[in-house]
Amino acid sequence: MTGVAEQASPDRLWFPECRTLAGTLAFHAARIPGHPAVVTADSSVSYRELDAVSNRLARALTDAGAGAGTRIAVIGHESAHYYELLFAVAKIGAVLVPVNWRLSAPEVAHILSDSQAMFLFADGTGGELPSTGSTSVIGYDTDYYARWIDGFDDAPVVPDTSETDPIAQLYTSGTTGLPKGVVLPQRSFFAIGDLLAGAGVDWIDWHRGDVSLIGLPGFHIGGLWWAMQGFRSGITNAVMPYFSAEHALALFSRYQITTGCMAAAMIQILLSDPSVSRRTFASLRKVIYGGSPISEDLLQRAMTILRCDFAQIYGLTETGNTAVCLPPDQHRPGTPRMRAAGRPYPGVECRIVGDNGETLPVGAVGEVQLKTPARMLEYWRLPDATAATLVDGWIITGDAGYLDADGYLYIHDRIKDMIISAGENVYPAEIENVLAGHPAVHDVAVIGVPDDRWGEAIHAFVTATAGAEIDTRSLVEFASNRLAAFKLPAKYHLVDSIPRNPSGKILRRELRAEFWSGRDRQVN
């Protein structure tokens, strides 16, 4: 990597004494007690209030038997309650397990069972909850929740934890069809900020007076990581139940948002609202985006209307979110650099590895591997999978790409079969496993195809069991009852056979060829 010489703004906020989540909240509750920590369209919670209520909740959890290492799950739309629970969990040394509220009941049941969660906090918006077995369900928007925690005092709870202790367990889909729990340490939420500040680099920064829009949900590493950057800086964090143009614009209007993190698809949704104008975003100075690349047309439109800096981030849940960044000064539509994912942060390493494990030279395409201090500890209870992904400190990403002479990373393709649709990671095997259970389905293959709005759309190729006829409507209904909506195929192709190699592996490239022909990279 070369050329890191940017000078950070003198207004930048960075507090090196904040090393853990619990310590961060206690620090700012003492430093700026009345400053808004979390705001919604119609509420505001100060740092002092957030610290106090999370102390009471921490004592309630301890009284109920939770402690160091206890898994505590949460499902529901974004609200101040989510952060009350996050910090309460941190104060007792437990581990938060955020659950995507769009998952189906069987998918939620797997996460609860696999994580061995003692509690599931829910707000009633997660749809039908499964039978939770030994997991106790608490509605954190109920009178019971308020009465429960009000029975305890709000004296400080000081945990015996460090930055190497686990704090979050986020589930990612896997090529086997079952989600894996990525266990992240406290340092995952502090390491990149330290590296940026230590190098005087302001690719991603927080200023006095900032109001940060948390566009990504807390069950994604991007949403949780971004929120913690705001909390560490002692700024105001604006949250909405879920992303929509209406919710986001209401926050812009009320709080004069200055910075935010969104997926590229969210930026498009925001700009498509007929009410927006340059005046709408007059307070905005920087947007961080990730989850999928941004098209140059969308970037040009966003730069014209939003009139702010942009930074693209690339990483995985396993890397503790961002490991690579395309800085604002490289966002120049029409230049080759716009096709880059970015370059590693100072202190983060990136290498490209060939089929035989050799490090490849500049320009050669191979597997992307990343070494970052924010990396995961393990996959929960999956030592073999951990050993295959985390090797000598390197995260094996499964993405194919190359580095240019300046150290910028370009993602060329995916070694794994993952589909990214609207910033959501979707694995074909998970969908295939479900559709294979349909009585009329003999064989099935799933791929991602280019989509102008969502990046990629999910397409399923299906062959019928001998003597059976496949009704597309029944496939839709069958899948809808078993998969989250964002995992549902946008189109079903009824075919005579699925191309496979002699060992039985699906030849996805043959299926993808029709849709990706003429494109110089196989991601959109």
Three-class DSSP labels, 166-204: EEEEEEECCCCCCCEEEEEEHHHHCHHHHHHHHHCCCCC
**What length does the chain have?**
524
C-alpha 432, offset from chain centre: 23
DSSP lists the bridge partners of residue 491 as: 459
Give the pair of three-digit tokens for residue 293.
């690349």
Domains in the chain, CATH or no CATH each: 16-174 (3.40.50.980), 419-516 (3.30.300.30)
C-alpha 276, offset from chain centre: 27
In 307-414, where does DSSP find H-type helix?
A: 383-389
- How much is the pLDDT for 374? 98
Which residues have a Cβ under 8 Å from the Cβ of 64 and sit 6 or more positions away?
A: 119, 136
Which residues have a Cβ under 8 Å from the Cβ of 171 and sit 6 or more positions away?
A: 97, 99, 100, 111, 114, 115, 179, 180, 181, 182
The CA distance from 307 to 299, in Å, is: 11
Q: List the Cα angle 444/445/450 in 5-degree steps.
A: 140
DSSP 415: S
The CA distance from 165 to 492, in Å, is: 45
Burial-class residue 69 by CB neighbours within 10 Å (0-12, 13-18, 19+): exposed
The CA distance from 56 to 385, in Å, is: 38
Kindly give the pairing relationship between strand 71-75 and strand 119-122. parallel
pTM assigned to the model:
0.85
State how far the alpha carbon of 165 is from the alpha carbons of 94, 186, 298, in Å: 9, 6, 40
The CA distance from 212 to 214, in Å, is: 6
- What's the Rg (C-alpha) of the chain? 23
The CA distance from 191 to 360, in Å, is: 27
The CA distance from 420 to 399, in Å, is: 12
Query: Terminus-to-terminus CA distance in the chain, angstroms?
Result: 26
Where are any strands of DSSP class E within 173-298?
A: 180-185, 211-214, 236-238, 259-263, 286-290
C-alpha 511, offset from chain centre: 28
The CA distance from 115 to 119, in Å, is: 11
Per-residue pLDDT of the chain (524 residues; tens, 9 = 90+): 333 334 456 678 999 999 999 999 999 999 999 999 999 999 999 999 999 999 999 999 999 999 999 999 999 999 999 999 999 999 999 999 999 998 888 889 999 999 999 999 998 765 667 777 789 999 987 888 989 999 999 999 999 899 999 999 999 865 556 889 999 999 999 999 999 999 999 999 999 999 999 999 999 999 999 999 999 999 999 999 999 999 999 999 999 999 999 988 889 889 989 999 989 999 999 999 987 667 777 888 999 999 999 999 999 999 999 999 999 999 988 888 988 999 999 999 999 999 899 999 999 989 999 999 999 999 999 999 999 999 999 999 988 889 999 999 998 767 777 788 888 878 787 888 889 889 999 889 999 998 888 889 999 999 998 888 888 999 999 999 889 899 999 999 999 999 986 556 788 889 988 888 766 655 55
- How much is the pLDDT for 298? 87
Biggest CA pair distance of the chain:
73
State how far the alpha carbon of 44 is from the alpha carbons of 39, 47, 411, in Å: 4, 10, 41
Look at the block and give the residue holding tokens 């945990």.
159
DSSP lists the bridge partners of residue 180 as: 172
Give the relative orientation of helices 21-31 and 80-91 as an angle to the nearest 10 degrees.
110
In 116-162, where does DSSP find H-type helix?
A: 143-150
- How much is the pLDDT for 264? 85
DSSP lists the bridge partners of residue 137 as: 120
Give the pair of three-digit tokens for residue 57.
């909740």
Residues 195/177, Cβ–Cβ less than 8 Å = no
